[in-house]
Structure 1
Amino acid sequence: MSLQIQSQTSKIDTVHLILDGKLDAITAPELEKFINDQMNNEIKTLILDLGNLSFISSAGLRIFAKARKMIKSRSGMVYFTNLSPQVKKVFDIVKAVPLSEVFQNVGEIDAYLEKMQNKVSQENQ
């Protein structure tokens, strides 16, 4: 099975990628190219929806690590959502990302981001 990548842009500085299929040594370069092509300097938030990702290898984890490094260098964040059970297991085993970057769905991410922004606003008053 190949990897299908859908891209949605909800805000000028946010890209939401929905992955479907297998992310392995064969498909990882495709995702890396897609991310590099999509990630202009204005992008500060990358949301990766993994609900339909049926398999991930170390090659796929490396792509996620590279994306996190690139976005963090811009003071941005990468969030993972809708982890399929098998992908969640891999994340748990290898401690791929901090739990603060893993969410059940996009609504949960939005609520978290709103809370964090409100906290900063209150601190600045």
Structure 2
Amino acid sequence: MAKTKKVAVVGRPNVGKSSLVNKIIGRREAIVHNASGVTRDRKYFAAEWSNCQFMLIDTGGIYNDDSLNRSLDFQKDIESQVRVALAEADLIIMVADGKAGLHHLDQEVALLLKRSGCQVLLAINKMET
């Protein structure tokens, strides 16, 4: 029996990772909120795209920004969960906010993903307005 592929959805806080997960799985299961830090642990969802079944891993926003008022321990917990997801992933989708533009945290995320050695797809979110 073939191993189910895993796709991790990763990015800085509040770029729409959980919204993208909900769109791909076709239902609202991943929690979405305007406030940052709602997704803390990695969450797994069965998904299908073009007759291909896989597990989608929703992750919290990685890397702290002083404006988010997160404790260092809180951020380390999120980053630990993201690193587990990256280690499990066969493919990574990096989500960026097209409305806000490139942020220095996006560059930090991209460097982390490059070091993972896993194939990365870039998804630009929030382009509808």
Per the shorter chain, which TM-score range?
0.3 to 0.5
TM-score by length of 2: 0.37
| Max Rg structure | 1
Bigger helix share: 1
